[in-house]
Structure 1
Amino acid sequence: MSKPIHPTMTSAYYAQCVISFGVALGSVAIGVAYLPVDAWVRAFLAIAVLYTVTSAFVLAKCVRDRQELVAMASRVDQARLDKLLSEHDPYKVDSL
C-alpha cells in the first residue's frame, strides 16, 4: 500500500501522473523529430511544445498558489472566529 502524500493523492497516483507526463512529452518529441519537414519547422514545433509545457506548469502553480492562499485565509478567519467565540461570555453583564 502506498503512503499518502496528500489526503487525496497516493504515491501510486503521483507516479502515474509523472509517468503519463513523461510518455506524452516523449511521444510528442519523437513525433516532431521524425516529421518529414524541414529542420526549421521541426525546431519551431519543438519550441512551441516546450512553451506549452512551461505555460502549463506555470498555470498549475498559479492555481495551486491561489488555492493555498484561499485555504490559509479561511484558516486564519476560522482561528479568529474560534478565539472570539471562546472569549465571549453571553452571561457577562457590562458595568456602566
Structure 2
Amino acid sequence: MSKSIQPQQTAAFYAQAVASFGISLTAMTVGLIYLPAEPWVRAFLSLGMLYVVTSTVVLCKVVRDRQELTDVTTRVDQARLDKLLTEHDPFKVDA
C-alpha cells in the first residue's frame, strides 16, 4: 500500500508569508493615514482596503477547503481501491 506524500510548508515560508502580509497591510494603512485628502476619502479607501483584505482571507480559505476536499476524496477512493484489491482473489472459482 502506497502512502501519498503531503507537501509540507517550512517555518521560514510561513514566517515570510505572515511578515509580507503584515508589512503590506501596515504600509497601506500608513499611506492612507498620511494621504493628503479629506477624511471621507481616506475613510472610503480604508473600507476598500478592508474589503480587499477580508476577500483575500475568504478566498484563501475557499481554495484550502477545496484542496482538502480533493485530498480527502482521493484518500477515500484510494482506500476503496486498496480494499477491492486485497479482497480480490484471481484464483477463486465462483460456484
**Match runs of 1:38-49 below 5 Å:** 38-49=38-49
Q: Which sections of structure 2, spanning at least 5 residues, go unmatched?
A: 1-5
Percentage identity across aligned positions?
Answer: 60
Q: What number of residue pairs does the alignment pair up?
A: 90
- In the TM superposition, residue 9 of structure 1 has moved relative to its aligned partner by 1.1
- In the TM superposition, residue 92 of structure 1 has moved relative to its aligned partner by 0.3
- 1:78 aligned partner: 78
- In the TM superposition, residue 8 of structure 1 has moved relative to its aligned partner by 3.3
Normalised by the size of structure 2, how large is the TM-score? 0.91
Whose strand fraction is larger, Structure 1's or Structure 2's?
A: 1
Q: What is the root-mean-square deviation of aligned Cα atoms in Å?
A: 1.0
Q: Which runs of 4+ in 1 moved over 4 A?
A: none
Higher RCO (CA-CA < 8 Å; seq separation 6+): 2
Which has the higher mean CA deviation after the structures are superposed, 8-17 or 60-69? 8-17
- 1:3 aligned partner: none
Which has the higher mean CA deviation after the structures are superposed, 32-41 or 7-16? 7-16
Q: Which sections of structure 1, spanning at least 5 residues, go unmatched?
A: 1-5
